[in-house]
Structure 1
């Protein structure tokens, strides 16, 4: 039975194009473009299982031969990308970015980059991933971890295919259980059950919650081997089910916005993966869908899809490292065209030659892979050491911006002072009558607020205590269960923790209560009720600090730029932040609400400065303040109403 099918190459194209467009930021009509990876998993499971079963039937299956094929298929193009990316990383990355790049290289060599990104826990859907050239290798790691075990299970099962399928079904069910229901394991004792609560073991990056997707493709391969004649006799059913599969994929690509869909993988992931499975089962080249996917252009894109997947993220990331404005359609389309051009070249010049057994023997492939891995490891160590030496060198250079950059992009400054103060659980009994008591409650924006006060010595007459509440949990008091508003992946974090009700003892003692948060729309709408339920006395004073955002900030862009150039840089803030501030302005008394955004960002479109008047970066990520930014913003808000009363 031949494994190759034209329509499968077309299905690869349907998978890779949305992924590239999604990462390029063209998400208006492809909000769920990231699901292309899930389609790849199904295709991969189908193809590998088909090849293994063919060889098992002919009694030619060999573990060594299997891994040789994987090396030929995966490694040459991968090493090309790693070495090319390393060149640009060396010249274009900040020391901290370069150090993390080197660490990522090591994890990729160890086939564990998915575990590395899971451990870093930046989140696949955060803006930080835009600047990570190798974030996409997590999916390769998942596949290779699967392929490390899957052929061994097949090999030791011998000819007992029925037992093999039963074992794989059990593994698929277990994997799906962790993807959808695993987060409730820790909730059993507390009798709380949340539909989309994920366990950390089944997160976006890890194989435990992903294996069932690959096994869907495997089950399709087993079915087609047993029922190869059905496709020709059930023509009308094939047409219908292939069309349904195609529609399921399109629906997922268009509507699965990561901001609103529960964290992948879960039962929603069944929609694109079942769609891909239906096309594999029924979308033969005699069906309408099969004919569409067999168009030469689709097949060509499918053939170069692996190279395209490898190339797209480094090109996009390094482009963003050099220029912050990647929102324009035309430049981005040019970049995408370059991705496909390089992909075609690497397919012809790298992928195809290394798959040719007459050009490169098994011994050469294994030995070459070992040498390339060793060189990549040495290169990774070199890049990490280079990052360390550059950090030391930058601190000695005349442009202070370079030494400032050592701390940008990291949370040490933002959290340090606030976290140290958290150790003080109560107000002091020895506070003098001249010292008022102030409690600051909130998330990282509250940490920023504390830094503003500390840098400008604005609250020196107050004894300050702090209470931290993750923005994912939000500040809220009311009769409604806040879990219905919180993303499912954060349910465990916000269960019986990070609630303002636990700060009530301190609130009762305080003269001034300040709530500072990255407010979400649901909590902002309910904030008047929250304030009312605090039951503050007439002598107590409350303030609400609105959210802030200064636009997209890429610090590396401004290296070697003059102070005159830097102070002319302005950006548009996130429209959602403006929307929330407008909502709070309409519902909260102006004597207690601080619209920080409006004070800093001016003009009709509220454009925001990126630098202070003496050329110091205000925010390292567009949302959180540097030391100089805290001083700059603090001096403005504490001199204006209503905080000038403090």
Structure 2
């Protein structure tokens, strides 16, 4: 029989609190707060395996009973969050956001939201974490997919326990290898050793890179079953090992800043998962750590941790959607308090009743789950159709602002023309080279914006343009230093064998004019004069450096159905680091080469920026990338003023 352990609920509290505070923006002390999800995976693996083992011992295990218990545990609160979020999404989301939300609902009820977010998360344009209220369901999908396979293996191999454990150990090792590969195995070595590429986002979202975390919990359950009681063989070391586990978790939460380590999951993930495992194995009620985790406030947070996990993301997202700036400290505290209140209500009135077999039979649970799943699919289709209809209705006399966003506000507009040009045009024609009418446009999405400026404003019509993409994560740099030393750990793999200006040098050699546009980082901006020098350009070649632009945090939904007069009054300050880097470039790059975009399009020393063009069109849909109208407006300014007016 499975014995309830109060300290496990306390461990759940250690997992959920850092996650919520991390997502709320408290990334100082909680820089690694996201590791709470990894701790949850270990706990889930342990509890599920313990339940299965206990039922095998009593002869009561059945797959039907197992999935009934999972439905009772997961679905009621999840469906509640889905329906509440759908109401706010219907009222507050833009058509494109609402359409993605509807697609998210489909992925959730088909147990594939992790696959959906993996497919849609390019790590740059798509602000999934901030603007999708259900992005956190990816972890539920990972667990659900694990639950589909794991109990079946246990069922069919119940009489071959040694083989089962060996098989699971091999799967865990393979999963860990794939996680580490996606977590930047290449970045720890200068060798270009490649025969398989596990994409970073794939190892983050998919079970291939996460199964080992659940299996660590499973192995803990196997160990405790064999040893009869918690930590029996290592009794005299319980205090030390449980304290070590707690220390591992605290260190992980405080120091595993994703900006300074390779992408999760990877070998660093062993720190929080090992910490959770040590507490499960040795943090019993006889230890100081076990008694600490068993105190009532922590146990209470652990009991409502599932509801807290479900509630926190929608509340934070909708708060961001209704504000043109990140929620302030007081607002965040209020949201966290509301999360706690709603989670308590969910626990008492949703979770507990549906777990009670006396109130709801297995047949009722399965039938209700089926009906609500069908209803959710219908709701998702309704929201997707509503998003499409809202855009179509604009042409019949509604606010054209929504139509503008639908057609030009998505990131695909930014990248499309530039990418197509790069794919079709690898080099200049001989005639262009001979006539000195060749332009190489090199950079990240800001270079893509520049290309859209050229197209929308019909600038540089006498030139042939070739484009070359270098991700903002990797930056434009040539010099004696190792470029990877300056790049955030999570992006090193992406920048190791690609996104390097050295691959653009043949194009640079051919070009008469070179335009560099990037979301410049301070480190690359300081070294830009050296980069330009080492390009070894001829005196006949001209170089222009286009500074970054920024319009603050833009929330397009705030301006729906507002008058043109209202929109024209909207102004915001750019982010301070963008202003700082632009001023640095202005001091180090010759005026005949540097284009200070912010100074040209914004007002005053603090460079306050209008959010709309003079005719009331939104300039940037996310604060940094341009709409079609923004590209036309900004392009007309920078190409008609010095130094680009010479072209």
After TM superposition, the score normalised by the length of structure 2 is: 0.93
Displacement of 1:533: 1.8
Cα RMSD for the two superposed structures = 2.7
* Contact 1:551–1:572 (CA under 8 A) maintained in structure 2: yes
* Contact 1:184–1:193 (CA under 8 A) maintained in structure 2: no
Relative to structure 1, the CA distance from residue 604 to residue 333 in structure 2 (aligned partners, 3 Å threshold; closer, same or farther) is farther
Q: Who is 2:546 aligned against? A: 545
Q: Distance in 2 between matches of 1:244 and 1:185?
A: 27
Write the mapping of 1:407-446 to structure 2, written as runs, cut at 5 A. 407-422=407-422, 423-431=424-432, 436-446=437-447
Q: Who is 2:287 aligned against? A: 287
SS in structure 2 at match of 1:406: helix
* Contact 1:175–1:208 (CA under 8 A) maintained in structure 2: yes
Q: Who is 1:73 aligned against? A: 73
Displacement of 1:205: 0.4
User: Any gaps of 5 or more consecutive residues in structure 1?
Assistant: none
Write the mapping of 1:162-561 to structure 2, written as runs, cut at 5 A. 162-181=162-181, 192-193=192-193, 198-199=198-199, 202-229=202-229, 231=231, 237-422=237-422, 423-431=424-432, 436-486=437-487, 490=491, 493-494=494-495, 496-561=497-562
* Contact 1:619–1:625 (CA under 8 A) maintained in structure 2: yes
Displacement of 1:398: 4.4
Relative to structure 1, the CA distance from residue 325 to residue 502 in structure 2 (aligned partners, 3 Å threshold; closer, same or farther) is closer
* Contact 2:408–2:628 (CA under 8 A) maintained in structure 1: no
SS in structure 2 at match of 1:614: coil
Q: Distance in 1 between matches of 2:141 and 2:171?
A: 19
Q: Who is 1:95 aligned against? A: 95
* Contact 1:114–1:137 (CA under 8 A) maintained in structure 2: yes
Displacement of 1:312: 1.2
Aligned: 1:619 with 2:620: yes
User: Any gaps of 5 or more consecutive residues in structure 2?
Assistant: none
Displacement of 1:475: 2.2
Displacement of 1:479: 4.4
Relative to structure 1, the CA distance from residue 493 to residue 465 in structure 2 (aligned partners, 3 Å threshold; closer, same or farther) is same
Q: Distance in 2 between matches of 1:135 and 1:580?
A: 33
Displacement of 1:176: 0.4
Aligned residues: 644
* Contact 1:550–1:610 (CA under 8 A) maintained in structure 2: yes
Q: Who is 2:567 aligned against? A: 566
Displacement of 1:129: 2.1
Q: Distance in 1 between matches of 2:398 and 2:157?
A: 67
Deviations 1:203-249 (A, max 9, x none): 21000110111111111111122224464785652222222211211
Relative to structure 1, the CA distance from residue 633 to residue 204 in structure 2 (aligned partners, 3 Å threshold; closer, same or farther) is same
Relative to structure 1, the CA distance from residue 244 to residue 573 in structure 2 (aligned partners, 3 Å threshold; closer, same or farther) is farther
Q: Distance in 1 between matches of 2:429 and 2:234?
A: 80
SS in structure 1 at match of 2:529: helix
* Contact 1:25–1:327 (CA under 8 A) maintained in structure 2: no
* Contact 1:475–1:499 (CA under 8 A) maintained in structure 2: yes
Relative to structure 1, the CA distance from residue 127 to residue 121 in structure 2 (aligned partners, 3 Å threshold; closer, same or farther) is closer
* Contact 2:42–2:217 (CA under 8 A) maintained in structure 1: yes
SS in structure 1 at match of 2:516: strand
Displacement of 1:440: 1.2
SS in structure 2 at match of 1:136: helix
Deviations 1:161-209 (A, max 9, x none): 222222211111111011113688999xx96149x98545852100011
After TM superposition, the score normalised by the length of structure 1 is: 0.93
SS in structure 1 at match of 2:467: strand
Of stretches 232-241 and 250-259 in structure 1, the one that deviates more from structure 2 is 232-241
Q: Who is 1:118 aligned against? A: 118
Q: Who is 1:132 aligned against? A: 132
* Contact 1:440–1:464 (CA under 8 A) maintained in structure 2: yes
Relative to structure 1, the CA distance from residue 29 to residue 488 in structure 2 (aligned partners, 3 Å threshold; closer, same or farther) is closer
